[in-house]
Amino acid sequence: MTVRAGLLLRVALGAALAVFIGAGAGAQTPVPGQDEMNIGDQPGYQPSPAEEQLTGAYAKQEVFFRTTQSPGTIIIDTQDRFLYLIQGNNRALRYGIGVGRQGFTWSGLERISRKQEWPDWRPPPEMIERQPYLPRFMAGGPGNPLGARAMYLGSTVYRIHGTNQPETIGHAVSSGCFRLVNADVIDLYNRVPVGTKVIIKQAVAL
């Protein structure tokens, strides 16, 4: 290959690379957990064990987490869709969660005021108005949208609870509650007592 031919080849390759990089820079890389799901509740649906098995970032795992909060504190990150149970020594158990969709996100400091196994479900009037097909009452059990456990937050209407829709974990879908797959909510329920401090961090507006 002559020097001139080699030079032309390098120029051509450089131009192609620039176009490729430019195209990539203009595209938005999907960020897990940042989208909002337009999905209603599905009372009575019972997911399979395979559906309830989370993988990747939303699977329960121990992670590095720097905080001044004491062990046993729960920190909910609504932006990244994670719930952290502080373990001490800059470690935390991290669970993937579903959070409130636009208009239903909130922040604050609460404490777990009550715990319930297989809670009954009574959709509030506002939810019935949005989804008129929902039952007015559903006894606790498999297929109940509140899942296997519920931990009630102070005197609010919000809970940390299970779900019969594992595909919603990592998404903004609820009316303000925080949902985990049933295996994870049972694990969390068994680790935290009534009175546990819960810090809810609001998503940062861009």
Helix (H) or strand (E) holding 87: strand 82-88
Annotation marks residue 161 as catalytic: yes
Spot the catalytic one: 161, 163, 174, 192: 161
The length of the chain is 206
Q: CA-CA distance, 41 to 166, in Å (whole number)?
A: 12
Residues contacting 168, CB < 8 A, separation 6+: 37, 39, 98, 174, 179
**Partners of 109 in the β-ladder:** 199
Spot the catalytic one: 92, 160, 177, 200: 177
For tokens 């030079």, what's the residue? 7
Q: CA-CA distance, 74 to 67, in Å (whole number)?
A: 11
SS3 195: coil
SS3 46: coil
Q: Which amino acid, 6? A: G
Q: Strand 197-201 and strand 74-77: pairing?
A: parallel
Active site residues: 161, 177
